[in-house]
Chains A and B, each alone.
Chain A
Amino acid sequence: MAATAAVPRASSSKTESYVDTKRRDDVRQANIIAARAVADAVRTSLGPKGMDKMIASANGEVIITNDGATILNKMEVIQPAAKMLVDLSRSQDAAAGDGTTTVVVLAGSLLKSSLSLLSAGVHPTAVSDALHRLSIRAVDVLHGMAIPLDLSNRDALVKSAATSLNSKVVSQYSSLLAPLAVDAVLSVVDPAQPDIVDLRDVKIVKKLGGTVDDTELVKGLVFDKKVSHSAGGPTRVENAKIAVIQFQISPPKTDIEQSIVVSDYTQMDRILREERNYILGMVKKIKATGCNVLLIQKSILRDAVTDLSLHYLAKVKILVVKDVERDEIEFITKTLNCLPIANIEHFREDKLGFANCVEEASVGDGKIVKITGIKDMGRTTTVLVRGSNQLVLDEAERSLHDALCVVRCLVNKKFLIAGGGAPEIEMSRQLGAWAKELQGMDSYCIKEFAEALEVIPYTLAENAGLNSIVIVTELRNRHAQGEINAGINVRKGQITNILEENIVQPLLVSTSTITLAAECVRMILKIDDIVTVR
């Protein structure tokens, strides 16, 4: 490897003063082109009239989605710079949850302008520095446009969630899903820490069947599982006392390998009897505490329950849900306000949770278990998502996740900003004006980048089938006249005051879009070589 690389370098080393930059430019150009190809791939999915992509993965699975992060994740890119764009959308997903397409499209457009700057002979670091200054200034502009928000203003929250949902496959259900997302997030906000929302406290359960219309918010718990009633146990319990157990109601098993030696016929009967007694003893202990619902953690070492124990549990009218995953235990115990029980000896009443009703409901082709009316319920909530086929269901879940993230952003940073391309065009206008005050290289670069920001309204219009040049120029004009909230109304196909149309988004989404895109582009610009290593 080094030997082959050494040959051309050796010849260039003789002419000392000549700096060979050709190869470096090639690498940079290749990087930028690859990264822009990624951006172009997702460009058409931006905005309310954006199109969806169908992704067929290698194992024959098909996904239909409009979510930038998902599309990019499934695209198997190899080119390193293109990979960085995929990561960019992933970090936008982590930071804000929404705007994953926007950030990539924006980065692509910034790269395009960088390329023209580079070919004009500007040094890459100068471009990178200018971009950094631009992103700081852009955030200031956004802050200037922001509208403070009060969390009690539920309408405003619903509006911004609806804006995020409008661009998805499930947009026709946005009137249902948006309030649902808002309620879900608000119900998990801890009054002691009003700025922090942990989205893990919102559990999304998907169930095939019905339509997205049937999606509901459940105040309580939902398991995508059947009640184990092969032995005829109850499927509905009122005034439930719920125990979450991490042990197994089955014949004992030691950690050391063991074998029971049966030497004669009568012993077999005795062993069977002992097994029955053992299980009966456990069931009796459980019943003694008044428990009537058991949630049993999945065990890999042995069966969680056997037919025999199910039979006994059914006889004492205990409802059993088995195979609860270990990761879910924390969520369940938090919701039910109970403690997990790891040993039969510790089975005490004070570790139980209480609920008004535990029932099995049949939904579509499957069954679910619902626990409602939980006493002293923890700050958690469950959303049951329905859909007519798996593709819709998955997309509904992703869209709902985005909407939840949007609401979360608003809880974190209580500011709203107009949507519909208004912030981008305003940034572009103000930064363009600022560029005129600056001197030298910065001014030149910032002017170029300010124009690059217009890609968002441009794409929005283009995807909606509008005449993008007419729309963007009119938009620019309206902003120049001081209407900072003028944006593209895709439904009407014209420019309106976007705030009146209730198209709003969280400030955090916009700020993180611009800062993350700038950071990523700067990184790509600074690369001058790709080295293959082990």
Chain B
Amino acid sequence: MVVQNARLLKDEATEEKGDRARMASFVGAMAIADLVKTTLGPKGMDKILQSTGRGHSVTVTNDGATILKSLHIDNPAAKVLVDISKVQDDEVGDGTTSVVVLAGELLREAEKLVNKKIHPMTIIAGYRMAAECARSALLQKAKDNKQDPDTFKSDLMKIAMTTLSSKILSMDKEQFAKLAVDAVLRLKGSTNLESIHIIKKVGGSLKDSFLDEGFILDKKIGIGQPKRIENAKILVANTAMDTDKVKIYGARVRVDSMAKVAEIEGAEKDKMKDKVQKIINHGINCFVNRQLIYNFPEELFADAGVLAIEHADFDGIERLALVTGGEIASTFDNPESVKLGHCKLIEEIMIGEDKLIHFSGVEMGQACTIVLRGASSHVLDEAERSLHDALCVLSQTVNDSRVLFGGGWPEMIMSKEVDELARKTPGKRSHAIEAFSHALQAIPTIIADNAGLDSAELISQLRAEHHKEITNAGIDVISGGVGDMEKLGISESFKVKQAVLLSATEAAEMILRVDEIITCAPRKREDRM
């Protein structure tokens, strides 16, 4: 037993040292990686996330980032992995599962090395060299078809299909890939996904989803107002359309007769009328407000033939202002300084059972709306997440047009190069480099395992195939063998792969460096007796 040291830490604060600490973080990280492992690849499985909060709401998902985000975690190393998946989601949008799985595998390999009494720092140095080597291998093999618009578009299609094939949309992936590519190409290189609006409507099936040029607002048109406006001038506002209240607490008026109350009421009405008149004086024929529009102003707008939409959500009006090229106004005294939005046509359309307002021919040509239909809200939510992943990857690829093949091809390429590096490197580091190569091979192994294939057999075939100078071999999950990725049209974005490689390595390195975990005592609630 270790001699009891003098107490440094407060009561209840715990401290774990050396091997124990490292063990705890390895176990935590690997548990997380194992949890999401089964969702990887085209035949990956989904998870039910059951909330313990109110309503016990249920989410069905295949998206690593979504699963990890909602977990209860009480292990610091596991938290690091959740964070890298979050970063991956923000940066490139896809590969959120891969990054966690790779980091988990790197740690699994590292654990073995540590057990062989290799110093963690040596492992880190080896990992660093290996990562650098793997990255340059990828760089060499990446293809860039930006100059040729047709091949580039087909590249995009392939990437979208590869991304979607692991998701719920896999059966209709061609349709959705086309939808995503069209939407992203409309952005013309900007990565601002704000102008792609996704509307979910329960009913119909996923096949009925469509891309609409223009903007759709899930709101109703006021009573008695025109249902169709051509060449609309739109004022987007966030203003109170009930009454401008005196915002001093307890303000009140004292009068001595009923007539005066009526006068004040009249004055309030007049004030509203003035406000409406000011708004109409902007020369608009469509008014969209974030707040409620009461009956009285609604009628005034109807009289003036202005289409008034009330209670649009904040997200909705911001996006509407963006796509129509207007600004959100809250004062109406200077019509000149307010930028109005424009669009060619506003009309009411019906999707399923609901009426929505459709703005077409908007100022900002990039804007478009994707209407998703599906059997239930679970399907829709998952479809939205999948589509969002595809959109993110595509918009990244438009900027960085280098592509790689998928299906475990990049991992095998990297692993081969890293293996060679291991042979050239003298010293203990070579063990670590070799371990890195093993970890890389784990990804195709898991893809094969998830598909119910014989992974050991397939990986060895694949490795033999990759020993040749030029190869496009990867795992063909559909036929269950080794296939030519170029012919199968399975592509991935270079940027995603690079991000997976680098952040997984970094995360593994960070966790490896840990040799002590100090858990602070939770703050005590003061007992109130």
Chain A contacts to B: CB under 8 angstroms: 1-3, 5-6, 9-10, 13, 17, 19, 24, 31, 78, 80-81, 83-84, 87-88, 90-91, 94-95, 123-126, 129, 132, 196, 198-199, 246-247, 251-263, 267, 270-271, 274-275, 278, 297, 329-330, 333, 339-343, 345-346, 512, 515-516, 519-520, 523, 526-534
B43 touches A125 (CB 8 A): yes
Instruction: Report Cα–Cα, A91/B300, bound state, in Å.
Output: 39
CB of B30 within 8 A of CB of A10, answer: yes
**What is the distance, in angstroms, from A291's C-beta to the closest C-beta of chain B?**
16
Closest to B355 in A: A198
B58: contacting residue among A84, A90, A255, CB under 8 A:
A84
Given contacts A339-B299, A519-B206, A519-B379, 17 further A-B contacts (CB under 8 A): A1-B71, A2-B78, A251-B258, A253-B261, A254-B268, A255-B242, A258-B254, A271-B258, A275-B258, A333-B223, A342-B295, A342-B299, A346-B299, A515-B375, A516-B375, A527-B45, A532-B49
Q: With A2-B75, A198-B355 in contact, do A267 and B256 touch (Cβ < 8 Å)?
A: yes
B352 touches A94 (CB 8 A): yes
In whole angstroms, how far apart are the Cα atoms of A196 and B377 in the complex? 24
**B52 contacts across to A, CB distance below 8 A:** 532-534
A252 pairs with B70, CB closer than 8 A: no
Does A526 contact B355, Cβ atoms closer than 8 Å? no
Q: Is the CB of B48 within 8 A of A534?
A: no
B265 interface hit (Cβ, 8 Å):
yes
B window 66-84: CB within 8 A of A: 67, 70-75, 78
CB of A91 within 8 A of CB of B262, answer no
Known: A94-B202, A256-B251. A343 touches B48 (CB 8 A): no
> Once bound together, how far apart are the Cα atoms of A17 and B452, in whole Å?
13
30 examples of A-B residue contacts, CB within 8 angstroms: A1-B71, A1-B73, A2-B71, A10-B27, A31-B48, A81-B48, A87-B375, A94-B203, A125-B452, A129-B171, A196-B350, A252-B265, A253-B265, A254-B261, A256-B245, A256-B264, A258-B264, A259-B254, A260-B254, A260-B256, A275-B258, A343-B269, A516-B375, A527-B46, A527-B47, A529-B38, A531-B50, A532-B72, A533-B52, A534-B70
Q: Does B53 touch A at the CB level, under 8 Å?
A: yes
Contact B376 A84, beta carbon cutoff 8 Å: yes
Inter-subunit contact B38/A24 (CB<8 Å): yes
Shortest CB–CB separation between residue A96 and chain B, in angstroms?
Answer: 9
Binding site for A on B (CB under 8 A): 27-28, 30-32, 34-35, 38, 43, 45-53, 56, 58, 60, 62, 67, 70-75, 78, 108, 168, 171, 202-206, 223-224, 242-243, 245-246, 250-259, 261-262, 264-265, 268-269, 294-296, 298-300, 302-303, 350, 352-353, 355, 374-379, 449, 451-452, 456
The docked-state distance in angstroms from the alpha carbon of A108 to that of B268 is 62
Q: Is the CB of B265 within 8 A of A520?
A: no
With a cutoff of 8 Å between Cβ atoms, the chain B residues found around residue A90 in the complex are 202, 376
Contacting pair A258 B255 (CB below 8 A): yes
Cα A257 to Cα B376 with chains together (Å): 48
Q: List chain B residues, Cβ under 8 A from A330.
A: 223
Q: A residues within 8 A CB of B49?
A: 530-533
Q: Which residue of B lies closest to A245 (CB)?
A: B295
A residues near B295, Cβ cutoff 8 Å = 246-247, 297, 340, 342
From B35, B261, B452, contact of A251 by CB (8 A): B261
Question: Which of chain B's residues have a CB closer than 8 A to the CB of A1?
Answer: 71-74
Q: Which residue of A2, A84, A258, A267 is within 8 Å of B73 (Cβ)?
A: A2
Nearest CB in chain B: distance from A304 CB, A:
13
Once bound together, how far apart are the Cα atoms of A124 and B171, in whole Å?
Answer: 15
B262 touches A5 (CB 8 A): no
Verify B376–A80 contact, CB threshold 8 A: no
- Given known A9-B34, A343-B269, A529-B38, contact A254–B264 (CB-CB < 8 A): yes
In chain A, what residue has the closest Cβ to B201? A94
Contacts of A254 in B (CB 8 A): 253, 261, 264-265, 268
- How far is B113's CA from A67's CA once the two chains are assembled, in angstroms? 64
Chain B residues contacting A528 (CB-CB under 8 Å) are: 38, 45-47
Chain A min CB distance to B363 (Å): 29
- Asked whether B71 lies within 8 Å of A531 as measured between CB atoms, the reply is yes
Q: Which residues of A contact B243 (CB under 8 A)?
A: 255
B72 in contact with A87 (CB, 8 Å): no
By a CB distance below 8 angstroms, the chain B residues around A252 are: 258, 261-262, 264-265
Q: In the assembled complex, how far is the CB of residue A42 from the closest CB belonging to chain B, in whole angstroms?
A: 17
A125 and B32 CA atoms in complex are apart in Å by 24
Considering only CB atoms, which chain A residue lies closest to B350 in the complex? A196
A94, A346, A512, A529: the one contacting B48 at CB < 8 Å is A529
CB of A408, distance to nearest CB on chain B (Å): 9
Contacts of A80 in B (CB 8 A): 48, 50, 58, 60
Q: Are A125 and B451 within 8 A (Cβ)?
A: yes
B246 x A13 contact (CB < 8 A): no
Cβ contacts under 8 Å, A527 to chain B: 45-48, 60
The answer on a CB contact under 8 Å between B258 and A274 is yes
User: Which of B223, B375, B377 is close to A519, meaning CB atoms less than 8 Å apart?
Assistant: B375
Query: What 9 A-B pairs come out closest when comparing CB atoms?
Result: A528-B45, A533-B70, A274-B258, A246-B295, A123-B452, A342-B299, A87-B376, A257-B252, A342-B295
A13 touches B252 (CB 8 A): no
A190 vs B378: C-alpha distance when bound (angstroms): 34
CA distance A159 to B32 in the complex (A): 58
